[in-house]
């Protein structure tokens, strides 16, 4: 199972130097994926959780492709209705080629109503637009000779039944975000059952979980996967592996903006996870 990291690309203190440090730390520790989030207009509802500056994912990943060599680059998640599908298809194809085939396109429908309004995109149609745009992107890649898109994987985000169905019908993987261990175990079974109902192959399971290490064990029934002692975090990753997931993405941002400016604690936790992961691979 591959392990990735969702690198914070927003908030005061984030700058090109810090993004470079994040990228080189993630690659240097041996992780498989480096992913970033997506917002365009930092409206009040966005800023409440993800304040400016917010580095746009395509331009940011294009730059990070030049300061890394091996790690795959991706979005978790690109908000599909925000951009014309032919523009997204073009940027994704170019980034994929410029990076040596390293792009993973994680996608979602979005949630920030004020941002939709600022961009002139109808919020209530975001699901239908996402489906339409994903089909248009795939058509562009398949039917236009100058797109070099050798297998850009599409990971469809969304924890709802609609998100799961969208992943089955239009994606290569299902990418649920911020889940409890019990919920994810149940959802893995529902993913296969729903795919069988639709007479389609089940997409790969690629969840994104939190990454927050605590000194004491967290025993609350609603504990999110990836939150707790290092032993709990590693146990969560092992459980996800046993569910048949092909990748898991670790998200070190837990709402504490101070940690954006001082990422050393997150890097220490990532180093411990990387060491354990390497020991398992060497067995």
Q: Is residue 21 within a helix (H) or strand (E), and if so which, with residue range?
A: helix 16-28
Number of neighbours of residue 67 by Cβ within 10 angstroms: 13
CB 191 within 8 A of CB 158: no
229 CB-contact burial (10 Å; exposed 0-12 / middle 13-18 / buried 19+): middle
Distances in Å between the alpha carbon of 135 and those of 51, 88, 89, 94, 168?
32, 12, 11, 19, 13
Q: Rounded to the nearest 10 degrees, how much is the dihedral formed by the CA atoms of 36, 42, 48, 54?
A: 30
Token pair for residue 78?
Answer: 């690109």
**Cβ atoms of residues 248 and 4 within 8 Å:** yes
Q: What is the pLDDT of residue 283?
A: 72
The secondary structure element, H or E, covering residue 73 is strand 72-79
Q: What is the CATH number of the domain that holds 127?
A: 3.20.20.30
Residue pointed to by tokens 């925000």:
82
d(CA 126, CA 120): 12
DSSP assignment letter at 177: B
The tens digit of pLDDT for each residue in 105-164 reads 999 999 999 999 999 999 999 999 999 999 999 999 998 776 666 699 999 999 999 999
Q: Which residues pair with 74 in a beta bridge?
A: 35, 104
Q: pTM of the prediction?
A: 0.96
Q: Which residue has the tokens 């990070």?
A: 64
Cβ atoms of 126 and 109 within 8 Å: the answer is: yes
DSSP string, 216-274: S----TTPPTTEESHHHHHHHHHHHHHTT-SEEEEE---S-HHHHH-THHHHHHHHHHH
Point out which residues pair with 103 in neighbouring strands: 73
Bridge partners of 208, per DSSP, are: 177, 249
| Number of alpha carbons in the 13 Å side-chain half-sphere of residue 140 | 18
124 vs 129: CA distance, rounded Å: 10
Q: Which domain holds residue 260?
A: 2-282
Give the alpha-carbon dihedral of 133, 126, 255, 64, to 10 degrees. Answer: 20
pLDDT in tens, the chain (283 residues): 999 999 999 999 999 999 999 999 999 999 999 999 999 999 999 999 999 999 999 999 999 999 999 999 999 999 999 999 999 999 999 999 999 999 999 999 999 999 999 999 999 999 999 999 999 999 999 987 766 666 999 999 999 999 999 999 999 999 999 999 999 999 999 999 999 999 999 999 999 999 999 999 999 999 999 999 999 999 999 999 999 999 999 999 999 999 999 999 999 999 999 999 888 777 7
Count of domains observed in the chain = 1
């Amino acid at each position: 199972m591959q392990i990735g990291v969702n690198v914070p690309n927003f908030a005061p203190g984030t700058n090109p130097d810090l993004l470079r440090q994040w990228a080189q730390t993630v690659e240097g520790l041996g992780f498989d994926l480096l992913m970033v989030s997506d917002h365009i207009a930092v409206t009040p509802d966005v800023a409440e959780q993800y304040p400016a500056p917010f580095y746009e994912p395509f331009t940011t990943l294009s730059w990070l492709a030049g300061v890394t060599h091996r790690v795959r680059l991706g979005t978790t998640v690109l908000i599909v209705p925000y951009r014309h599908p032919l523009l997204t298809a073009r940027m994704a194809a170019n980034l994929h080629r410029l990076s040596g085939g390293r792009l993973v396109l994680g996608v979602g429908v979005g949630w920030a109503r004020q941002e939709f309004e600022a961009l002139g995109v109808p919020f209530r149609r975001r699901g239908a637009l996402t489906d339409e745009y994903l089909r248009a992107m795939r058509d562009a890649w398949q039917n236009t000779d100058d797109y070099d898109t050798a297998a850009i994987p599409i990971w469809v985000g969304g924890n709802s039944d609609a998100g799961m169905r969208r992943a089955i019908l239009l994606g290569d993987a299902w990418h649920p975000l911020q889940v409890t261990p019990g919920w994810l175990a149940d959802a893995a079974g529902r993913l296969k059952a729903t795919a069988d109902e639709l007479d389609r192959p089940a997409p790969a399971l690629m969840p994104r979980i939190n990454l927050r290490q605590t000194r004491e064990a967290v025993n609350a029934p609603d504990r999110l996967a990836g939150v707790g002692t290092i032993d709990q975090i590693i146990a969560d990753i092992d459980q996800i592996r046993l569910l048949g997931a092909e990748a898991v993405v670790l998200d070190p941002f837990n709402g504490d903006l101070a940690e954006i400016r001082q990422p050393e604690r997150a890097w220490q936790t990532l180093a411990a996870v990387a060491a354990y992961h390497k020991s398992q691979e060497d067995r």
